[in-house]
Structure formats: structure tokens, C-alpha cells
Structure 1
Amino acid sequence: MNDFLPKTEEAAASIIREHAAAGRALAICGGNTRSGLGNSVPTKDRLRSTGLTGIVSYNPGEMVMTARAGTPLAEVEAALAENGQMLAFEPMDHRPVMGTSGEPTIGGVFAANVSGPRRFVAGAARDSLLGIRFVNGRGEIVKAGGRVMKNVTGLDLVKLLAGSHGTLGLLTEVTFRVPPRPKTEETMVISGLNDAEAAAAMASAMAQPVEVTGAAHLPLTVTFKFLGGKLAEGGATALRIEGLPASVEARAEKLASAMSGFGTVARLADPESRQLWHEIRDVLPYADETMRPVWRISVAPTIGHQLVAALRLEAGVDAFYDWQGGLVWMRMEADAEAQLIRRFIKALGGGHATLIRATEPARAAISAFQPQPEAVAQLSARVKEKFDPAGILNQGKMG
């Protein structure tokens, strides 16, 4: 593998132009922490953003940061923590579950639209993204968006690049919102619910006027993996509340009372609560140093447990739930079973299934991303042709 690590946008543009002229495939990546995501397509050359580093602009009072795409995510989060701010979308770290190394970058977070447990109330990564600079497949430097939401010039282009996985260009700079970090948090844990009961409990919690910012169900097959085995036995349904201490205390009391009808309720204070949600975010139960297939499935919150129950009758699966049940993390015991999973998703009303981890032969044989409807696929192909007419960028990463 030939690695290119340009220090400037102009150098990156030159590399892309040379590859486009020669029709030579080019892998686009940041810290390479999601290197196994997508279909397996061998590429000799790799263009990395890790030479483009540094926080360009950050005024905490404006709650906006601009950083070069290769800036380590840890550096960004450290600067935000010093000023009591955060990335609201709570990006997961793919390294444990995918068995990769490297250092996550802020550009990679937006290129993959990475989001964590707070996603269902705070939005995805793309919802925090205000502006970008990138180099397209023609080797042209493009700027879109601005520092405030009122500047909507090129806003659709900003949304388009977020989650494009480097198929449309190399992100070189990103501007994004950074809201205040909650002063504290607390998690209600309901013990012993089955998947259907947990779905009902989470729906009830979301209807309460207490601002729940995390809702996950951890069945008994995975509960022992969290908090060093100290979480509730027999399954745990976790509900997070964040904010100022007095407010969190009052809302936690109200939520605990409302949830008592579903089962025994325990309360986790910060920092145990924070640790639990980090472990949920990073899919700790399936960070098992194997290549057993892991799927990330997005469906309606009321459908997740029905999907898992149906699949258990047909294949060996293990699963847990985030986003009030709308995000299913599923590990297969043997085969990826892509056709079976997607057939059941369609039968239950639709959704998206992305293959996060699998062996190279499996990734070469099936579509890692949810197949698009024909009209959407045709539109995506036209967009790809405009941005990358030579078709050299991140082959195998198209959804």
C-alpha cells in the first residue's frame, strides 16, 4: 500500500488529479479506524488526511469550531472539554468492534456520519456540520457552507458530503457546532425486562416530560459485559438524563417513579452512568477479537425487537438496542445472512442494514451497505459521476 500524506489542500488536489488522469484507484481515509467498512476492493494507493491537522478557529462563545480534517478526534474533544462543550452527536469509536488501530480524525467522523447514543435527540454528525472544504475527484478544491446556520449557501452540499465515506472527495476542513456539555448525568436502569417489554418501557419514558437523552436495552446475553459485570442481572433497560445537578435530580426522581410500574429501578450516578454510555456507544459486547459478522440496523423503534425475534428463528444472532430500540446492534454466529436480514427488514416496514464487520470474503460477496431503490441509485450514480467522473475514489464504499 502506497500512503500519500499531503500537508496542504493543493498537494492533495495534485495527487487526486494525477490519479484521475491515469484512471488509478485511490482509497480516501483519515486515521484508518474504519478500514474494514464497505465491500472489499483492493487498492494500491491510499490518500490520508492525517497530514492536514490543527484547530483553525475556535471561539467558545460562538459555540462553533473549525478544524482541519486530519486533526485527531481526541485533540478536538480535549479542547472542547476545557471549555465545557462537546460534540452533541457523541461519535463512537469503531476500533474496539472492528479490531482496527490508528487514531480517529474529525474529518473521518463527518465523512462517515458517525453518531452515538444521543443521536435520536441531538441528530447525527451531519446535523452539527456547518461548513466544509474538500477536494473532489477532479482535483478541484471546493468550499461549501459557513460558520452559522443562517448562511445556507451550499448547505445541501455540506449534507451530501457527510456520510459519503470519501466517495465524492477528500474532506480537508470542517466547521461544526459545539454546544455546552451537561454538568452531570444520571441513568435509570430497569431490571429483568424482555425485549418487547423494554420497547414499551422506552416508549413510555420518551413520552415523559423529563428529556431523556439515552434509551437502550441490553438483554441478558450482553448485560454482563457492561460496567465490568456490575450492571443489573437478567437484562437492563437504561434511560439517561443530563443537565444541571438540581434539574437532573428532580427529573430522575420523576422518571424513576414513572418507570417503577415496569420493574425494579436502580439509579446510576456520574461517572458510572458516563462509562455505561461510552460502552454502549462503542458496542462493547461485540469487541470480541473475532470476525463474526456485526450489523448496524436502523428501523422504527417499535420494530427492532420484532426483527430480532424473527431472525432468531432462522439464524444464530445476538443483539442489543440503542436509540429507543431503533438502532439494533446484531452479531451473527456464523454467516452474515444479508439476504435474510434485509428480507425481514422489508417485511417489517423498511430500514437500513449496514455490515460493520466481516471477513474479507464475506465483504467481497455481499453489499455491505443497504441497497438503494432504483431511482435513488440512479441519482447517486449521477452525483458520483459529477464529483468523481473517473470513478477512482473509495471504490467499494458506495451505499
Structure 2
Amino acid sequence: MTPGSEADLRDIVAVAVLAEEPLAIEGTGSKRGLGRPVQAARTLSLAGMSGVTLYEPEELVLSAKAGTPIAEIEALLDAHDQRLEFEPMDYGPLHGLEPWQGTLGGVVACNLSGPRRLKQGAARDHILGVRAVSGRAEIFKSGGRVVKNVTGYDLSKGLTGSYGTLAVMSEITVKVLPKSETEATLVLRGLSDEEAAGAMAAAMGSPAEVSGAAHLPAYVAARVADAALGEASATLIRIEGFGPSVEARAAHLGKALERVAALERLEPEASRRVWRDVRDVRPFVDGTQKPVWRLSVTPTKGHAVVMSLRMQAAIDAFYDWQGGLVWLRMEAGEPEDGLVRETLRRFGGGHATLVRASESVRAATAVFQPQEPALAGLSKRLKAQFDPKGVLNPGRMG
């Protein structure tokens, strides 16, 4: 079912509520492989609700219908030298689909972000307001078109990351920001995972205002940007801003880092290609369904978590967010979820999300990090308030 308006959307949800008939909610389906399989007889697609409804470059605000392709929004912003600062990733290729198919609603529903998150936050931090239809078939709105809103429940942030299980968003307003005039990436070659963790921490703690810090072991670096990085391990430090500022900061940081390892520099176009591939997990885009995990850990412990896992299972891994985001591919084809979660627990905790696996594996695995009892109870009560009949994406989050 493809509604063309908010009223159509409300009517479809109302019929589903009356019939107690579950709906699978999606935009173009590019993130269908995220979360547990949804058990629903019908699919509600927001693809027909597309288009930018407001764009005021001077006010740094944009509103668009939920089914609007992210590629269309980014092209519009680029023409005005602006961008989505949270750098949303594209999950399509990882799941065997064509790139650039994601929608604004999908990005917000999954709270996606890219390498710039460690400096600018995730999608949740850039949402100003939403319009949506709840599982009660009621239209509601939250927030507005300005950064400051009155106090109260911030439903916009509550819906961000809910994977369409609380409400179906119809329109979303986001904050946009000017693009950087230029960027450069410093590349340290040949560091071990542990050495890279120290180098990234030093870079993040410097006055250089780093906007990206990632480490690609040798076997991963060769799969980025058409092998432009070569086969040695690559520790990436990105600096963005005005031209003279980037030059000064890169030179200052480069002098400090060249004592650590051999240093190279990527200019703007090459830098953008590399970070795009890191953002979209291109090293693991292999045409298979080998399980891929997304681990959120303490940045200084990421390398230790990976080393411990390597001692017990065949894995491939690389790091983003200064080591706080670890991407794992399980080479034997089994998710090893017990091993992954127990390893996180032993190293002080974290979150593990299974972001790629076959449908049968996802149906039998706790895809998202299990919640503590108190938080699980709160989530259950929130679901009951927004979707008492359980018609929106049932089972997707567990």
C-alpha cells in the first residue's frame, strides 16, 4: 500500500487497527535487512509521499516528506553549499541493493549517522520536528522549524531510532549546515590496532578539530576506494573547514603524528571517496550474507575487544569513531551472538547490533542489544501508548 497523502496514511493505519492486521513499514526497502523479520500480511510503503516541502537556506532548515530520497535532499543541499551534518550512511549495498535508495524517513527511523558523528552527533541530534501517524491512527506533530522549542516530551527524538514501531512519520524537519570549504585526511601507515587507538586518541585530543578518525587493518584498507590506500594498514584522521585553517591544522597535527608512523595526505576528492566507503561499510560489501555486527564500545577498548574475539572466532574488523564503532564480519557464517555479547560484557559493556544476516538467522537471534529490565519495561509501556494493537512493524525490534 502506497499512500499519497497524510490523510491516506491515517486511513490505511485506521483500517489495520480495526482489523488488527499488522503492517510492515518501509520507504524503498533499502533497510529491510535491518532488525528482525517483520511478520505482516501487508507492506505500507512511504515511497509515494516524497518531496521537499520547505527549504530556507538562510535559516538552515529543511522539511521533506518521509519518502523523499536522501540522494535528492543531498543534491539540493549541495547546490546551496550545505549538507546534512550527521553524514547518514547508506545500508543498501551492504544488503546487496543498489546505492542511493534510502529515504529521509528511513534514515531518521533508524537514527543513522556516519564518521562525523563523533563530532556532530547522530540523526537524532539534528531533527527539529516531525509529523506522524500513531498506531492509534491519530495524526500528531512534535517540534517545529526552529532549534528552540517549548519544554515537554521531545517526541521527535523518541521516534528517531524506533524503526517504525511507534508511529509512521509523514514529514520531517531537519537542521542543515554549510558545507566545509575543503577537507584533508592524514593517513598513518602500518600501525597495529592498538597503536592506531593511541594515535586516534591523541588526534582527537589535539586542537586540530578532527571530524573523523578511523583505522583500517591491512586486509581492509585494500578494499577501500578501489584499493587507493594500498595494502598496508591505514589510520585515517580527517580535518575539515576553510582552506587556510585546514592547511594550518593539518600541518600542525601532521608534525606531531609523523613521529608515530609514516604519514601521507589525501586531498579533498580522494578524502571524500575514502570516508564514503568507511561510512557505508564498503569493505564488507561482498555479495554474501555473512553476519556483520556493529559494536559500540569504549574507544580505548575497541582493539582489545577485537583481539579477544579473534582468539575464539574467525572475524574481519575495522574501526570508526576513534575506535568506538567496530564493524565485524563473521567469516565462518555464524553470528556467534553469545560470544560477541559476552566479550562486550567482559570489557565493560557496550552495544552489539546484527546489521546483516540471512532472514532465518535474524529470526533466531537477538538482533539488538538486550535491554536492562527497567528500560525494557519503559519501552513496552511506550509501545503500548503509541501502538496498543501492535500493528506497526511487529517484532522488528525483538
* TM-score interval, smaller chain: over 0.9
Deviation at 1:100, TM superposition (A): 2.9
Question: Could you tell me which of 265, 268, 284 is aligned with 1:267?
Answer: 265
**1:339-378 paired onto structure 2 within 5 Å:** 339-378=338-377
Q: Retained in 2: the 8 A contact 1:145–1:155? A: no
Q: Do 1:213 and 1:241's aligned partners in 2 also have CA atoms closer than 8 Å?
A: yes
Tell me whether 1:14 sits opposite 2:11 in the alignment: yes
Q: Secondary structure at the match of 2:206?
A: coil
The separation in 1 between residues aligned to 2:163 and 2:250, in whole angstroms, is: 39
Matched residue type, 2:218? L
What CA distance in whole angstroms lies between the structure 2 residues aligned with 1:152 and 1:163?
22
CA shift at 1:153, angstroms?
A: 5.0
Deviations 1:116-138 (A, max 9, x none): 00011000001000100000001
CA distance in 2, matches of 1:74, 1:153: 33
Structure 1 counterpart of 2:88, from 86, 91, 95: 91
**What percent identity do the matched residue pairs reach?**
51
Please give the secondary structure, in 2, of the residue aligned with 1:58: strand
- Letter in structure 2 aligned against 1:326: G
Equivalent residue, structure 2, for 1:81: 78
- Counterpart position of 1:106: 104
Q: Distance in 2 between matches of 1:156 and 1:199?
A: 36
Which residue of structure 2 lines up, in the alignment, with residue 52 of structure 1?
49
2:224 and 2:360 map into 1 onto residues whose CA distance is 31
Task: Give the AA of the match of 1:375.
Answer: A
Unmatched segments (≥5 aa) in structure 1:
none
Counterpart for residue 222 of structure 1: 220
- SS of residue in 2 equivalent to 1:116: coil
Unpaired stretches in structure 2, ≥5 consecutive residues: none
In structure 1, what is the equivalent of residue 164 of structure 2?
A: 166
Residues in 2 aligned to 1:308 and 1:396: alpha-carbon distance in whole angstroms: 30
Matched, 1:34 2:8: no
Q: Counterparts in 2 of 1:187-198, with a 5 A limit? A: 187-198=185-196
Contact 1:145 1:154 in 2 (8 A): no
Corresponding residue SS for 1:303: helix
Whether 1:380 aligns to 2:374 is: no
Aligned to 1:330: 328
Asked whether the equivalents of residues 185 and 265 of structure 2 are also in contact (C-alpha less than 8 Å), the reply is yes
Alignment of 1:255-334 (within 5 A): 255-333=253-331, 334=333
Aligned pair partner of 2:113 in 115, 119, 131: 115
The 3-state SS of whatever aligns with 1:33 is coil
The offset of 1:304, in angstroms, is: 0.9
Pick one of 135, 143, 146 that aligns with 2:144. 146
Q: State the AA in 1 paired with 2:83.
A: M
Alignment partner for residue 235 of structure 1, among 233, 236, 243?
233
* 3-state secondary structure, aligned to 2:9: helix
- In the alignment, which of 241, 244, 248 is matched to residue 246 of structure 1? 244
Matched, 1:70 2:67: yes
Q: Aligned partners of 1:49, 1:91: CA distance in 2, in Å?
A: 19
Distance 1:239 1:233 in 2: 18
Over residues 119-170 of structure 1, what are the superposed CA-to-partner deviations in whole Å (9 max), with x where a residue is unaligned? Answer: 1100000100010000000110010001112113555211100010000011
Distance 1:41 1:64 in 2: 34
Contact 2:186 2:266 in 1 (8 A): yes
Q: CA RMSD in A?
A: 1.1
| Residues 163-190 of structure 1, C-alpha deviations (whole Å, 9 max, x = no match) | 1000001110001100110011000000
The answer to whether the Cα contact below 8 Å between 2:38 and 2:396 also exists between their aligned partners in 1 is no
CA distance in 2, matches of 1:346, 1:392: 34
Cα offset, 1:209, TM superposition: 0.2
Deviations 1:94-126 (A, max 9, x none): 111111348211111111101000011000001
Q: What is the CA–CA distance in structure 2 between the aligned matches of 1:396 and 1:298, rounded to whole Å?
A: 23
Aligned to 2:182: 184
Q: Name the SS for the 2:300 alignment partner.
A: coil
Q: TM-score, normalised by structure 2?
A: 0.98
1:10-62 deviation per Cα after TM superposition (whole angstroms, max 9, x unaligned): 11111111111111110111121010111123322011111111111111000
Mapped to 2, the partners of 1:154 and 1:24 lie a distance apart of 33
Q: CA deviation at 1:373?
A: 0.4
Residues 347 and 152 (structure 1), Cα distance of their counterparts in 2 relative to 1, 3 Å cut: farther
CA distance in 2, matches of 1:370, 1:19: 29
CA distance in 2, matches of 1:64, 1:155: 21
Q: Give the letter for the 1:291 counterpart.
A: Q
Secondary structure of 1:18's aligned partner: helix
